[in-house]
Structure 1
Amino acid sequence: MTLNLATLLEDSARRHPGRDAVVLGATRLTYAQLDAAANQVAALLAAHGVQPGDKVALSCPNLPQFPVVYYGILKAGAVVVPLNVLLKGREVAYHLADSQAKAYVCFEGTADLPMGAEGHAGFEQTPGCEHFFLITADPAAASPIDGVRTLGQALAEQPATFATVGTSETDTAVILYTSGTTGQPKGAELSHANLMFNALTCNRLFGSLATAHERHLITLPLFHSFGSTVQMNAGISVASTLVLLPRFQADQAVELLQREKITFFAGVPTMYWGLLGALHDGVDVAEIARNMRVAVSGGASLPVEIIKQFKERFGVQILEGYGLSETSPVATFSDPERDPRPGSIGVPIWGVEVKLIDPDWKTIEGTDEVGEIAIRGHNIMKGYYNRPEATAEVTRDGWFRTGDLARRDADGFYYIVDRAKDMVIRGGFNVYPREVEEVLLTHPAVSLVAVVGVPHEVHGEEVKAFVIRGGEITEDELIAWCKQNMAAYKYPRIVEFVESLPMTATGKILKRELAGR
């Protein structure tokens, strides 16, 4: 069977050639233009000897060039290796070598984020990577790096037509590197079928198939599976207009929600927190609410308090899903046929099974018992690239173990309790930081919080809360309030007020950094 993920773009370009596909500021690319530009990238790669199955790395923020290059690589039958835009030269070299990339396309970056210089330094350290193309903000600009061709120069010579390579459904389409918050990053190999099924299943869940024209605001980085599958691939498959925001800034996001009549927003919890904080008097909240149809959260558990506030302001229930790079990513989602349950990650998506297991892979059957989430279905990766031992550690009989702890209620809805490695063990009692965070967020003086375990001579670990204040309160007052509202073994004995919390490029709070403070 022949299946190539790039057909999502080709089909929409055939049906809606004149519709805006990608928008960034004054730049607007139609579906016909996006498809033609992707054909030029495919022709360029083929002209430089890139064969079907070869790996091509891509470092690019949310710019129109991201989908252009992404689908161009797929059209050539090659494998996309999207890289985190924050990587330094040494880290880029690791990813290029580990994925055995044959070519690398990298954005030039900015003075604050010199991606081009770091990317080229990494390329220079990787003998097996043969070609480097620099994306410039202005396609006609000269290369700022001596001896390096810009993508704009290289594409000018290429035709706008290309016969897409017929890949198999089991061929690898994308290698997504896990964030590396534990150990060295590993590349999850995702097939064309993995990603195609996930994108089409998203559209079933969101009701996008029945909507005349969806308009997405994409603030999630496209190099991450959440942004690339749930918004880019799913959106392009139904000819949505993708409005790009290269870096999440709440005030800019709110302005775009209003100006571009956005119907679909997806984000991680810190983005929703930011949006609510940016609703000043000049914002027409009623206009935003009139257009917004779908709000989706993932990447981390969304505090119930934020769900409540968002519904009050915008009239939209945030729908929560759950998944990982290794699961393409979506594995569970709010059941579209039943009322959403705030705090729940929903039920397994179509074609996917979920169960809870103990450390020995034994199934946990009981209602509300805590176990590790295991997943089986069309969304499970082929494996970690060139890492059979690491793959064997997390897979058995088609099941993938996630490292996330959850419980299941009597109706089959799942609730994340915590990452297995984030759990705090205080005096022999299990403390789930998420549960403590949920309680803290109900206090009017708490704006955002992260709870971690810190070493303690007597109890093994002590519970500590890092808090961004939203009002006046002292550390002692907050600890006293926690003592009144939580069991004795759970409440944080240590509170530290901070101006900000360390986050990944995708907006997840880096608890590992906090635990070291």
Structure 2
Amino acid sequence: MIMTSNAVSDPSFNLAAYVLEAGSRTPEKVALSLLDGEAHEDWTYEQLIAAVRGTATGLLETGLMPGDRVLMRLGNTPDFPVAYLAALAAGLVPVPTAAALTAQEISKILPQLKPRAILHDPAVPCPDSDTIITLDALRAMRDLPPSAYHMADANRLGYIIYTSGTSGKATAVMHAHRAITARRMMFDGWYGLQEDDRVLHAGAFNWTYTLGTGLMDPWTMGATALIPVAETEATTLPALIASHKATIFAAAPGVYRQMLRDQAPLYLPHLRHGLSAGEKMTALVRETWGEVTNTPVFEAFGMSECSTFVSGSPQTPAKEGAIGTAQPGRKVVIHTAKGDARPNTPGTIAIHRSDPGLMLGYLDDPALTASKFDGDWFLTGDQGMMDADGQITYVGRTDDMMNAGGFRVSPLEVEETLLNAPGVTGIGVTEVEVKKGTNVIAAFYTAAAPIKEYTLTDFASAELARYKQPRLYIHVDALPTGGNGKLQRAALRALYKASRS
């Protein structure tokens, strides 16, 4: 099954051309600044566009044809977005992947993906292949004459991204060229993005959150993207925000936590607000950020299948405890087996199939694609509640929800509470099987040293209803996270199971 949308039906469209159009009108403006402390490497829009279109020429000269899939095994450098846009400009189908994936993990996706070429940085793990285009060869293409943009149906396949979901199995998600137009709904619905903004994103070039929020969106607006060099410590980010006059800062919640460890006031005179996505930010982190920077942080909810579509924004801030409202132009409901949920009633967060940002489907898996829909609604698998004002409260993943004595319990609520327990530096909560047919709530925590269990149980009993309190507390050296920094609760369950075998 391949989804189509009536929202964008332009028969002559190209994602890369769309992204770079505003910059073509201001060729001398800085499009990208690569930050290395006080030093920086600047790319003007003229240089960026020339590199993209020259690389597109080079890719086509290798014999690649529009529609061919190109696997990206590139590092945390500007080569990544240049190659990504170049492939799209040429009508190829780029497949960005996280540099952290091993050669063995990449080998597992090759039989299904069948890429015609692999763009490879030798510093990034990759299996041997006779289809590799080296980083040096890619860089040499930048000086070639510019390719014309491959203009065609906006609903055609544009790019493929991989999501592990909660099962840990990589799933290929297909997106159309039109998906870039849906991101404009974020400009007012989340960012408050303006042409003169300087957007500093703390993520790596080869993370889809950075690729969209940190690069494609500022460039679509004709703004300036600021990206720290690889291995930049979170503790140095406030100085970068200040010295490079960032007006918007974006990062995952974990980065905010690291930045706020000493909770000292941060003087960020040009910053209007922060953006957060990837996982839910705790109230403590959000409140602390506001106190030490005197700026708000706006969260967004989304997924690989549709990027972000619910968020708070400068125009419509989220209420206390909520993640925000559907972005302007989005059709979002709380779905139940009986239809739309009543206000403040839990159900599955769902988005209408007409949304231009919604995926085309899962690669070679029409059955899985169809299973995600109920009529015209794409079911996200995330639970939420919507109030009468359209404000949505996130409850958790359907498959992460815990059952305690017949009560449904969100791990997010327990984690947010226990993160305030004395000595706890990180927390992950899930349900584990202690004996056949008997599951209990377990809290896996990081701390400088194991904490006396009564300290944790006393804290939990004072802060949580009895049925929400963990029955097990397990000290771990580190919490398992994916390449995007999200906690992997399935890995916690596997860790517990392995410890008992």
Q: What is the TM-score of this pair, normalised by structure 2?
A: 0.89
The residue correspondences of 1:113-512 to structure 2 (distance < 5 A) are 115=124, 118-119=125-126, 121=127, 123-124=128-129, 131-135=131-135, 150-153=137-140, 155=141, 159-182=144-167, 184-198=169-183, 200-206=184-190, 208-209=192-193, 211-245=194-228, 246-247=230-231, 249-277=233-261, 285-286=266-267, 288=268, 290-327=269-306, 329-358=307-336, 361-376=337-352, 377-443=355-421, 445-457=423-435, 460-469=438-447, 474-512=452-490
The residue correspondences of 1:32-181 to structure 2 (distance < 5 A) are 32-109=46-123, 115=124, 118-119=125-126, 121=127, 123-124=128-129, 131-135=131-135, 150-153=137-140, 155=141, 159-181=144-166
Distance in 2, Cα, partners of 1:255 & 1:59:
31
Task: Tell whether the 8 Å contact from 1:479 to 1:494 is kept in structure 2 after alignment.
Answer: no
Task: Tell whether the 8 Å contact from 1:426 to 1:459 is kept in structure 2 after alignment.
Answer: no
The SS at the match of 1:105 is strand
Distance in 1, Cα, partners of 2:31 & 2:404:
52
2:4 equivalent in structure 1? none
Deviation at 1:272, TM superposition (A): 1.1
Task: Tell whether the 8 Å contact from 1:251 to 1:278 is kept in structure 2 after alignment.
Answer: no
Where structure 1 has 5 or more consecutive residues not aligned to the other structure, the ranges are 110-114, 125-129, 140-149
Deviation at 1:449, TM superposition (A): 1.5
The SS at the match of 1:58 is strand
Q: Partner amino acid for 1:500?
A: A
Residue 515 in structure 1 maps to residue 498 in structure 2 = no
Where structure 2 has 5 or more consecutive residues not aligned to the other structure, the ranges are 1-9, 496-501
The residue correspondences of 1:7-22 to structure 2 (distance < 5 A) are 7-22=17-32
Residue 28 in structure 1 maps to residue 42 in structure 2 = yes
Distance in 2, Cα, partners of 1:381 & 1:465:
35
C-alpha distance 303-71 of structure 1, shift in aligned 2 (>3 A): same
Task: Tell whether the 8 Å contact from 2:317 to 2:324 is kept in structure 1 after alignment.
Answer: no
The SS at the match of 1:296 is strand
C-alpha distance 400-64 of structure 1, shift in aligned 2 (>3 A): same
Q: CA RMSD in A?
A: 2.3
1:143 equivalent in structure 2? none
Task: Tell whether the 8 Å contact from 1:303 to 1:343 is kept in structure 2 after alignment.
Answer: no
Structure 1 stretch displaced more, 363-372 or 506-515: 363-372
Which contiguous aligned blocks of 4+ residues in structure 1 show a shift greater than 6 angstroms? none
C-alpha distance 160-181 of structure 1, shift in aligned 2 (>3 A): farther
Deviation at 1:316, TM superposition (A): 1.5
The SS at the match of 2:469 is coil
The SS at the match of 2:456 is helix
2:498 equivalent in structure 1? none
Distance in 2, Cα, partners of 1:322 & 1:232:
19
Q: Partner amino acid for 2:258?
A: G
Structure 1 stretch displaced more, 465-474 or 405-414: 465-474
The SS at the match of 2:43 is strand
Q: Partner amino acid for 1:220?
A: G
Distance in 1, Cα, partners of 2:217 & 2:349:
25
Q: Partner amino acid for 1:350?
A: P
C-alpha distance 203-62 of structure 1, shift in aligned 2 (>3 A): farther
Deviation at 1:52, TM superposition (A): 1.4
Deviation at 1:478, TM superposition (A): 1.6
Distance in 2, Cα, partners of 1:434 & 1:313:
24
Distance in 2, Cα, partners of 1:62 & 1:168:
31
Identity %: 27
Task: Tell whether the 8 Å contact from 1:394 to 1:400 is kept in structure 2 after alignment.
Answer: yes
Q: Partner amino acid for 2:350?
A: A
Give the length in aligned residue pairs: 478
* TM-superposition CA deviations, 1:197-216 (whole Å, max 9, x none): 22x1222235655x352222
The SS at the match of 1:308 is helix
Q: Partner amino acid for 1:203?
A: F
Deviation at 1:444, TM superposition (A): 5.2
C-alpha distance 13-484 of structure 1, shift in aligned 2 (>3 A): closer
The SS at the match of 1:352 is coil
Q: Partner amino acid for 1:388?
A: P
* TM-superposition CA deviations, 1:413-438 (whole Å, max 9, x none): 11111111111222332221111112
User: Which of structures 1 and 2 has the larger relative contact order (alpha carbons within 8 angstroms, sep 6+)?
Assistant: 2
Q: Partner amino acid for 2:139?
A: G
Deviation at 1:508, TM superposition (A): 0.9
The SS at the match of 1:516 is helix
Distance in 1, Cα, partners of 2:89 & 2:14:
8
